[in-house]
Amino acid sequence: MKRLARLARLGLITLVPILVAVVCTVRPPPATEEARRIVVRGIIDEIVEDFLVVTPFATFTPTPTPTITATAVAARPEGGSGEEAGTPGGADIGDGTPAPEGAATVAAASTLPPNPTATASPAPTATSLPTATPLPTATPLPTPTAMPSPTPTFPPIPSSTPTLPPGVGGGGGDDGGTVPTPTNTPGPPVISFSSAVYNVAEGVGNAMITVVLSHAANQAVSVNFSTGQGSAFAPNDYTPAGGTLTFAIGETSKTFSVPIVDDNVDDPDTETIPLTLNAPINGSLGTSAATLQISDNDPLPVIMFDSSAYLTLESTTPVFTVTLNRPSGKFVSLTYGPNGNGSATVGTDYAFPSFGVTAFGPDVTGVSSTTVTINNWLGLINNAEPPTEPDETVVIEIFNPPATANFTRTILFTTTLTVRDP
């Protein structure tokens, strides 16, 4: 309502000057200034009366149209005084023009009411808003615990069963028969040794070697196997093996054996035999090479002189024979010479200290000889004594071996050498 009142007042303010100008243009102007003012005021009153919009805050009372009262005044006699006739002499009609003599004067009297008084309507009493109720204090939410991401599970895709033409598939009739759901058929299996290294002791008898397939096959699978030459020697250490392994349908494991020789040779602590797979049928090769290791179980050999006494001429080089109580597959080295005992005189009959060093090892079969002749001790002195000099003796010893000598000594590691003049 207030908005409409404001729009009406705004329109009134805008239209009043325009309407006044239009009316003044259409109507002939009054003869006097006072009359023109009366006419304009009347027009304004009409406009206000027609367009006034009453608001709840002010009430306007339209102004009545002014009434013009004409009073006839008797004509002034010629030469008479205006005062005598009741009218001031030389009075004008109203626009400043003197009235002609002898004319009747009409006095225009307008009665204008006072301006309307705006009566203000009382403003409506504002209704107080309700007191706002304070919101409750927000309780902090607990920290969410991260949930594990679920592993998506996808339903199996149904396999469609193809429909065969009538008479195909063994079903007979017109239904086309039933075709079984196809299954995945694995490829050829991979053939491998079950281990890259196999370990056995020398006294085990047979080493069992396992060969496996990666998966069972729907047909027979075969492969060849063989042993080779390593640090172990055949036939001293093992018996060569070779042949063909055949896996029946559904089998995934086969074994073959390598005979191990339990000898009395002090072999190296570990000897090796290479193993090989080849020529697969209905399969492919995986781990096709492996090693069989044999752990020796024989002790070190015992070395000794083969005699407790030797005879030699003063002018010759003595010859000794040493023996091992068992063959050796290792290199054996020994040091021997006089130990300072005997009847011969040191410095006159023999040089001291003086030693001979001898080393020997296995032959092509991997086994050393058990008897060795040593003749490289050159400690005797050939002097010019009378022929009647009695025989003299020198004690020769095989000295305590170091750890790398690969033998031990227990008995007859000394011998007596008799030196005779020529």
pLDDT of residue 404: 84
pLDDT of residue 115: 52
pLDDT of residue 228: 96
Mean pLDDT on 202-211: 95
Mean pLDDT on 239-247: 97
Which region, left, alpha or beta, applies to residue 279 given φ > 0 means left and ψ of -120 to 50 means alpha?
Answer: left
Per-residue pLDDT tens digits for 6-34:
777 777 677 766 766 666 665 555 556 66
Non-local (6+) Cβ contacts of 386 within 8 A are: none
Write out the two tokens for 269. Answer: 């602590």
**More confident call, 199 vs 92:** 199
pLDDT of residue 338: 94
Dihedrals φ, ψ of 96, to 5°? Answer: 95, 0
pLDDT of residue 141: 61
pLDDT of residue 173: 46
**More confident call, 400 vs 292:** 292
Mean pLDDT on 196-203: 95
Mean pLDDT on 295-321: 93
Domains of the chain: 2-74+81-94+106-116 (no CATH), 190-295 (2.60.40.2030), 303-420 (2.60.40.2030)
Instruction: Quote the percentage of the chain above a pLDDT of 90.
Output: 38
Per-residue pLDDT tens digits for 261-274:
999 999 999 999 99
pLDDT of residue 5: 67
Query: Which pLDDT band, with edges at 50, 70 and 90, does 114 fall under?
Result: low
pLDDT of residue 140: 60
Instruction: Quote the percentage of the chain above a pLDDT of 70.
Output: 58
Q: Is the pLDDT of residue 106 over 80?
A: no
pLDDT of residue 148: 59
Per-residue pLDDT tens digits for 310-362:
999 988 999 999 999 999 999 899 999 999 999 999 988 898 888 888 888 88
Average pLDDT, the chain: 75
Per-residue pLDDT tens digits for 383-402:
766 666 789 999 999 998 88
**More confident call, 102 vs 356:** 356
Query: Which pLDDT band, with edges at 50, 70 and 90, does 279 fall under?
Result: very high
